Amino acid sequence: MIQTYDDHCGDLQFEFPEHFWWGSSSSATQMEGGAYKDGKGANIWDYWYETEPDRFHHGIGPTQASQFYEKYREDIQLMKATGHNSFRFSISWSRMFAKGVGEVNPKAVSFYNNVINELIEHGIEPFVNLYHFDMPLDMQKIGGWENRDVVKFYVNYAKTCFELFGDRVKKWFTHNEPIVPVECGYLYGHHYPALCDFQKAVQVAYHSMLASAEAIRVYKQLWQDGKIGIIINLTPSYARCAHPEDIKAANIADLLFNRSFLDPSVKGRYPVELVEFLRNHNFLPSFEQEDLKTIKENTIDLLGINYYQPRRIKAKEHIPNPNAPFMPEQFFDYYEMPGRKMNPHRGWEIYEKGIYDILINVKNNYGNIECFISENGMGVENEQRFIDDDGCIHDDYRIDFIKGHLRWVHKAIEEGVNVKGYHLWTFMDNWSWLNAYKNRYGLVSVDLNRDGARKVKKSGHWFSKLAENNGF
């Protein structure tokens, strides 16, 4: 299945399995634009930008996303040109249901039907995610994921999408990175509603997992002959050294940030250690006994893995302020490994082997579930520095980044990991939450000064060859 060739002869050194998924990932709020167009309701990002525009880099909000809503046909042609055989996008809940519930928006249905059909026409399989940080504003007004009723409304939305699009969409995902709304919205104040409340964070995390399980239950009841999963950003927690306290600290970080979503999604149960931790600190969520059966019986078929950087942990060095808000960091400190390789633009460590460690963990401890790399990418500032006379950005650093990670994915496949594809974040430069367009991630550049004009970067041309050759 996997062969090795002499790279100096121009042959493949790393060849991937037949029918490997090559593509990229995106999200509705970051890519579509048309924030108030054709009956779309406001989500929390639209509202926050209206009320606190200074929170956003250079005052650029989601109204200035990458115009996929108008340019999807052109963009899908470029996807084909850059080698995509698959593409993950999210459906905007508030575009489908302006208030999160009620009458479905026919113009939204038409748009997503057109996107799905256009992708299929170009030989690109649609992978569809249902929730990517974009809570409808009316749902947030009643508490968002804090409120159990929102689980019910979400499941209604999911069921509607399955029924409308499930005849053509055969890869579904309930959430993208459910830890992010928890930590950014309810622990560290980075995203709306910008709270620092551990109890609410736990409840939001729990209801997110319950909503995922309920959506999976409904999907399987419809017998649509597809697969449904979840996208989790798995950030391996590496202890500074073998000292027991460093290892204990890294285990706590892993429990809170990784296993709190991975275990219920794949195994159908929460880790005993996590339950004991929450109980000991009086932070168990409100739940009903029947929920645990729902979670147990409705596990995922397919795991999407987002990987960007490692988490390096050491034992706590100082006693926390007893009057400060309860935080995970009361149990560990972050550790900067000497000699680490960095992406200075994003401030993240580049550690390619981390993607292999994640995949081996999934193989050894999670039944070797079918999985794929659903996001991996490199954000860089001011890429115009690398433009040539033809207007093409020579982003060799991105090509090296992808190669470095794919080498470790290849090694994992050789060792029997059931990994089926690699999706880059992202297809084209997009609006990125609070950072707007500060860091560019795309295979295709977006020129904001020329009505969002697209231009394939060097990495996009290289990615096309990667997919055509099924390796490099």
Active site residues: 375
Q: Do strands 86-90 and 21-25 pair parallel, antiparallel, or not at all (unpaired)?
A: parallel
Contacts of range 216-223, beta carbons closer than 8 Å, 24 or more positions apart: 216/174, 216/298, 216/299, 216/300, 217/294, 217/297, 217/298, 218/155, 218/158, 218/159, 218/162, 219/158, 219/162, 219/166, 219/172, 220/298, 222/159, 222/162, 222/163, 222/166
Asked if residue 104 lies in contact with residue 13, where contact means CB atoms within 8 angstroms, the answer is no
CA quadruple 306, 307, 308, 311: dihedral sign: positive
Tell me which residue of 44, 46, 26 sits closest to 34, measured CA to CA.
Answer: 46
Residues 6+ apart with CB under 8 A from 464: 81, 82, 83
Tell me which residue of 24, 38, 146 sits closest to 90, measured CA to CA.
Answer: 24
In angstroms, rounded to a whole number, what is the distance separating the alpha carbons of residues 467 and 84?
Answer: 7
Burial 336-351 (b: 16+ CB within 10 A, else e): eeeeeeebebbeebbb
Radius of gyration of the chain (CA): 21
Half-sphere exposure of 425 (CA within 13 A, CB side): 24
Distance, CA of 260 to chain centre: 16
Task: Identify whether 344 is preceded by a cis peptide bond (ω within 30 of 0).
Answer: no
Residues 6+ apart with CB under 8 A from 145: 135, 151, 181, 203, 204, 207, 208, 211
